[in-house]
Structure 1
Amino acid sequence: MGGTEHLTVEREGATLVLTLNRPEAKNALSLSLLVGLYDGWLEADADDTIRSVVLTGAGGTFCAGMDLKALAGDGMAGEHHRERLREDPDLHWKAMLRHHRPRKPVIAAVEGHCVAGGTEMLQGTDIRVAGESAVFGLYEVRRGLFPIGGSTVRLPRQIPRTHALEMLLTGRPYSAQEAAGIGLVGRVVPDGTALDAALETAERINACGPLAVEAVKASVYETAAMSEQEGLAAELERGWPVFDTADAKEGARAFAEKRRPRFRRE
């Protein structure tokens, strides 16, 4: 497993846990964090024993976004990783899931602040659990900045446009309950339990057929911008091959024999 000084990588069964680990800076983005995060996404996709990914933050905070001190000219932490960015100028965007989509389900476990770049990165995850004291928001306009991590495109597609525009144009904070009310997160749990709740969800996913899970996720995103007619046709192309897999037959046998299925990605 990889990881850097600002990104911890651990295994919990079939789940890869990526932890933003710069608590002294509220997990603000650094080169070390971004490089570790991108490598984590690649590791999850390359290893077929990994069936899900949980993204969380250390120290009771998810991510406070861009390091404003670095932006002001003090230098971004993790400069020794600069060569990785020169080799792949898009690495930071892919790390933040702006235009990189892991094929495995990604579950966000949010405690504390998840603002600016944190809220932008959140939009690249699939399932989102938040502690009741979590705070969300896109603060960029308050600093004269633009939320260039994808929010002007993705947020209005994920929550009602009126809520998206209010969040984008006011830069105000949102409580976990309010974020759940507008659909930005799916579930609010007691403080300190978001990671446990995310891991429980991951375990449920891990118990399902991995080929089916990955095909379902791919279909949801592939058809999002299609007409209903186009989407239904694309769904058949993606879904029918799943029925011909050994895993599909195993699922039916396990149901008939009243036992847990033993999926093999075949």
Structure 2
Amino acid sequence: MAAVEIEIRESIAIVTLNRPERLNAMDPEMAVRLIDAYEQIRSSDDVRVAVMTGAGDRAFCAGGDLDATIPLMTGARAPATEWERRWLEVRGSGGPFKTDVGKPLISAVNGHAIAGGMELVMNSDIRIAVPEAKFGIPEVKVGLFPGGGSSVRLPNQIPYARALELLLTGDTITAAQALEYGFLNYVVPASGLMEKALEIATRIAANGPLAVRAVRDSVRACRGLPEAEALAIEAEFSARVHRTEDAVEGPRAFLEKRSPVFKGR
């Protein structure tokens, strides 16, 4: 089995981190395969939404597999596989932690999301977790910097003081706390995790795909900008969407009391 599995169900891509024996820790192969999966989703007109989860019932992703990555990072040994060579090429730009899938991404967090695992969740748009899941960015405990986007994204996604407490102490929080902080949308039993994720994905996929992507891209592009600058960027996204065939079809279908047939153009 591959370290990352991808399944397409109609217009929804399901991505599974598949190293349960290592708590789905990120080794070079998993990192590169995940980037490849993101590219497949981003470039496919048929995929409208993606759901990412982990194999097993213990961890979504326990962060980086240090046994596999530290020797390569320090130069203690040279890359021996194509996965390792490709990983060294992409890690400087943040690897999968900073790669944009280009479509709405839902995290179905089936267990602990620690370090890079939590950064993968930060890179998603909607988050659902099981009650047993824990979250944390513990890098400072071992003198490392959490370079997968944590210092930029976390203070924008939860209250500043909560974010700094997590980043500076390296402590973990429960799924209930993450929900309270606004980091998660829902906490559900494991038996209903994928059902909830797919239910939300299906609702998103039924909408105009160009409008959905533009709204998501506008939110990401405008976050943190001065209001006037952000509104100008939003206006550009709006104008592009309103020139599409889908923007004609949607209101027409509404007036004709039928379901719209969106073609993504």
The letter for the 1-side match of 2:96 is A
Structure-1 residue corresponding to 2:36: 39
Instruction: Report the CA distance between 1:91 and its aligned residue.
Output: 7.4
* In structure 1, C-alpha distance between the alignment counterparts of 2:216 and 2:13, rounded to whole Å: 17
CA distances 1:203-257 after superposition (whole Å, capped 9, x unpaired): 1110000010011011101111311111112111110221221111111121112
Structure-2 residue corresponding to 1:93: 94
Instruction: Report the CA distance between 1:76 and its aligned residue.
Output: 11
Structure-2 residue corresponding to 1:23: 20
Q: How does 1:92-241 map to 2 (within 5 A)?
A: 93-96=94-97, 98=98, 100-241=99-240
The letter for the 1-side match of 2:87 is L
* In structure 2, C-alpha distance between the alignment counterparts of 1:110 and 1:45, rounded to whole Å: 22
Change (3 A) 1:199 1:78: farther
Does the CA contact (< 8 Å) of 2:28 and 2:68 recur in 1? Answer: no
CA distances 1:87-123 after superposition (whole Å, capped 9, x unpaired): x334772322x2x222211110001111111011211
CA distances 1:151-188 after superposition (whole Å, capped 9, x unpaired): 11211111111000111112222111100111111111
Change (3 A) 1:170 1:77: farther
What percent identity do the matched residue pairs reach?
A: 42
Instruction: Report the CA distance between 1:77 and its aligned residue.
Output: 11
Q: Which runs of 4+ in 1 moved over 6 A?
A: 74-78
Structure-2 residue corresponding to 1:83: 85
Does the CA contact (< 8 Å) of 1:219 and 1:238 recur in 2? Answer: yes
Does the CA contact (< 8 Å) of 1:35 and 1:92 recur in 2? Answer: no
Does the CA contact (< 8 Å) of 2:94 and 2:147 recur in 1? Answer: no
Structure-2 residue corresponding to 1:53: 50
* In structure 1, C-alpha distance between the alignment counterparts of 2:135 and 2:185, rounded to whole Å: 13
Return the TM-score normalized by structure 1: 0.91
Secondary structure of the structure 2 residue equivalent to 1:192? helix
Specify every segment of 5 or more residues in structure 2 that has no aligned partner in the other structure, as ranges. none
1:7 and 2:4 aligned: yes
Does the CA contact (< 8 Å) of 1:32 and 1:77 recur in 2? Answer: no
* In structure 2, C-alpha distance between the alignment counterparts of 1:221 and 1:44, rounded to whole Å: 18
Does the CA contact (< 8 Å) of 2:50 and 2:103 recur in 1? Answer: yes
Q: How does 1:243-254 map to 2 (within 5 A)?
A: 243-254=242-253
Aligned counterpart for 2:61 among listed residues 49, 60, 63: 63
Specify every segment of 5 or more residues in structure 1 that has no aligned partner in the other structure, as ranges. none
Secondary structure of the structure 2 residue equivalent to 1:219? helix
* In structure 2, C-alpha distance between the alignment counterparts of 1:145 and 1:237, rounded to whole Å: 40
The letter for the 2-side match of 1:261 is P
RMSD: 2.1
* In structure 2, C-alpha distance between the alignment counterparts of 1:77 and 1:262, rounded to whole Å: 49
Secondary structure of the structure 1 residue equivalent to 2:94? helix
Secondary structure of the structure 2 residue equivalent to 1:89? helix
CA distances 1:15-34 after superposition (whole Å, capped 9, x unpaired): 11110000000000011111
